[in-house]
Amino acid sequence: MAKYIFVTGGVVSSLGKGIAAASIGCLLESRGFTVTLQKMDPYLNVDPGTMSPFQHGEVFVTDDGAETDLDLGHYERFTHAKLSQRNNLTSGRVYEQIIFRERRGDYLGKTVQVIPHVTDEIKTWARRLNEEADVVIVEIGGTVGDIESLPFMEAIRQLRQELGRRNSMHVHVTLVPYIAAAGELKTKPTQHSVKELRAIGIQPDMLICRAERPLPDEVKAKIALFCDVAKEAVITAKDVESVYEVPLVFAEQAVDEAVLELLELRDRARPRNLGRWMDMVRRLKNPQGEVHIGLVGKYVEYEDSYKSLNEALLHGGLAHERRTRITWIDAERLSWPGCVEQLQPYDAILVPGGFGKRGVGGMIHAIRYAREYKVPYFGICLGMQTMVIEFARNVCGLKEADSTEFNPATPHRVIYKLRELKGVDELGGTMRLGAYPCRLTEGSLAHRAYGMTEISERHRHRYEFNREYEEILARHGMRIAGQTPDGTYVEICEIPDHPWFLGCQFHPEFKSKPLEPHPLFKAFIGAALEHRRRRIEAAEGVREETSA
Ligand code: GLN
């Protein structure tokens, strides 16, 4: 039987509930327990797959092809949990299932209601993870007081009752604002949030208080008294430079001890071992310089739209003891040849995944710049597709080469819907989603980066490389460096006559972790640093010449 930790949030959103849940998971692993995490989102979309990354942040993809909330990315980066469809639930999914059953007549004439039918379904989802780990951490999206989240709150209230006090606990993440004019940390919003929680029958066992500065003892004591929580279970989540510091901040305040005590797990725990994690954070905070990556895309305003990508680039830098500085460049503002000067300051260029035609022209200019000026280039998903289009147009002379996504009538559809032709679309799955095996070409950049030939990576796309153009592309210097073992899909393309120029159809960023930087990001940042070194040397050479 697993122990359950339920994580709710109060006062405001964006307090880092997901990071808090993931950090508790990380700490429990450091004590020798296995963990898994689940996100329950109260909105009515069946999954985030159809939601705009502007609004909701990135869609995170699991091995089994589930399109999930970005918090699952944090969970995987902070722990060893293997996540799947079972780890992300929305109200939309719950209602979809209940209404399907209702139409099928499963309820035998009964009235179908939020309580018990919706709450039972939510409990079933949480209980399904019972066998997967020693501890299951369930995070409820939204903020206490939201109308939408009520069925979830009721479900976890009931679960606590059913599982037993010693087998479950409630963690509430709140805000303790610092009011500069009064020079004081204010506990009232936390008190109100807990009051709201208690009104629906939930008494928190631990409060994680997000604050600008550490809560002094007397503030902790006050919160403990008014919220009926042990003082050791009032935790400050002070603002930190990097999210990876949070497990260490929690460890300093013995969050793991409090959890083990509450869940009666102390006997089974081993001493805390965070050595590798601490070393990683130390290296992250003491880089030996920086590397500057230009990201050319269309979602430039909102960094959550590419959460995993940002993290993976950071991990890649970490592998070289460098801080990765990322500058977003709005693809729509790039033109040829104007972009040549605009893109000069970057050590490497990356075009990430995306959908739709907007900005594609600018991405193609950026890729041309990287190719002609021998600047390292990494294309991910759409970034590989645009790399193939650019090469077909500007190197192979197929001026109208395109993807059928952007121009269905193109005479040279170098990127097209192979699966539609194979009849896969009729099955309702319009996207190629989740993990697929890929075989790498010996001696390719990819092969060198991974150090093996069989890999597995996660996908989320509709269009594919058209092998009818393989021959002409190869003749002009583009090689296929990875494909599915049956040879159907091309997964990686490269230009061998270039320091580092690689595009992949999959999303490697979903599998990068701070303790295991992804091989492609590590290799890409390595190439960027090499370019940076050469660029600086050349600039110094010029300076010496002019001063001589
Ligand atoms: N729009 C492209 C496709 O559907 C690329 C998708 C992506 O970058 N995730 O194939």
Give the CATH number of the domain where residue 353 resides: 3.40.50.880
pLDDT-derived band at 477 (thresholds 50, 70, 90) equals very high
Give a yes or no: residue 541 inside a domain.
no
> Is the pLDDT assigned to residue 426 strictly greater than 60?
no
Same domain, 220 and 312: no
- Average pLDDT, stretch 528-547? 85
Among residues 281, 301, 335, the one where a domain terminates is 281
Judge if the beta carbon of residue 355 lies within 6 A of ligand 1: yes
Q: Is residue 10 predicted with pLDDT exceeding 60?
A: yes
The answer for residues whose C-beta is within 8 angstroms of residue 23's C-beta and 6 or more apart is: 78, 246, 247, 250, 255
Between the two ends of the chain, the Cα-to-Cα distance in Å is 77
Confidence of residue 425 (pLDDT cuts 50, 70, 90): low
Find out whether the peptide bond into 376 is cis, omega within 30 degrees of 0: no
Q: DSSP alpha helices (H): ranges in 228-274?
A: 246-252, 255-262
Q: Indicate if 298 and 262 belong to the same structural domain.
A: no
The pair of three-digit structure tokens given for residue 185, joined into one six-digit string: 């940390």
Q: Residues 74-84: what's their mean pLDDT? A: 97
pTM: 0.94
Condensed to tens digits (0 to 9), the pLDDT of residues 25-46 reads 999 999 999 999 999 999 999 8
Spell out the residues 6+ positions from residue 511 whose beta carbon is closer than 8 angstroms to its own.
76, 457, 458, 518
User: Do residues 264 and 344 both lie within one domain?
Assistant: no
DSSP line for 400-438: T-EETTT-TT-S-EEEE-HHHHTTGGGGT--SEEEEEEE
Helix (H, G, I), strand (E, B) or coil at 15: coil
Residues of 34-63 as b/e, b for ≥16 C-beta within 10 angstroms? Answer: ebbbbbbbbbeebbbeeeebeebbbbbbbb
Q: Provide the pLDDT for residue 422.
A: 65
| The last residue of a domain, from among 258, 281, 304 | 281
- Reported as a pLDDT band with limits 50, 70 and 90, residue 299 is low
pLDDT at residue 67 in the model = 94
Q: CATH number of the domain that 85 lies in?
A: 3.40.50.300
Alpha-carbon distance of 351 to 383, in angstroms, equals 5
pLDDT band at 167, cuts 50/70/90? very high
> Does any ligand 1 atom lie closer than 6 A to the CB of residue 33?
no
**Pick from 281, 310, 332: which residue ends a domain?**
281
Residue nearest atom 5 in ligand 1 by C-alpha distance? 382
pLDDT, tens digit, 9 for 90 and up, residues 98-128:
999 999 999 999 999 999 999 999 999 999 9
Angle, nearest 10°, between helix axes 119-127 and 91-104? 110
Q: How confident is the model at residue 428 (pLDDT cuts 50, 70, 90)?
A: very low
Residue type, 71: D
What band does 544 get if pLDDT is binned at 50, 70 and 90? confident
H helices of 293-426, in order, are 307-318, 338-343, 360-372, 382-394, 418-421
Do 97 and 15 share a structural domain? yes
* Ligand 1 centroid distance, CA of 459 (Å): 9
Among residues of the chain, what percentage have pLDDT more than 70? 97
pLDDT digits (tens, 9 = 90+) for 220-264: 999 999 999 999 999 999 989 999 999 999 999 999 999 999 999
Residue type at position 380 = I
Is residue 274 located within the same domain as residue 374? no
Residues in contact with 402: Cβ distance below 8 Å, sequence separation at least 6, in sequence order: 389, 410, 412, 413, 414, 415
Q: What is the pLDDT of residue 300?
A: 64
Mean pLDDT of the chain: 93
Percent of the chain with pLDDT over 90: 86
Domain housing 40: 3-281
Q: Residues 209, 324: one domain?
A: no
Q: Crossing angle of helices 307-318/275-285, nearest 10°?
A: 90
Question: 363 CB less than 6 Å from ligand 1?
Answer: no
**Is the model's pLDDT at 545 over the cut of 80?**
no
Q: Is the CB of 353 under 6 A from ligand 1?
A: yes
pLDDT grade for 427, boundaries at 50, 70 and 90: very low
Clarify whether residues 146 and 256 are in a common domain.
Answer: yes
DSSP helix/strand/coil, 356 = coil
For ligand 1, the distance from its centroid to the CA atom of residue 380, given in whole angstroms, is: 9
Amino acid in the structure at residue 98: I
Separation of CA 413 and ligand 1 centre (Å): 15
If one counts the domains in the chain, the total is 2
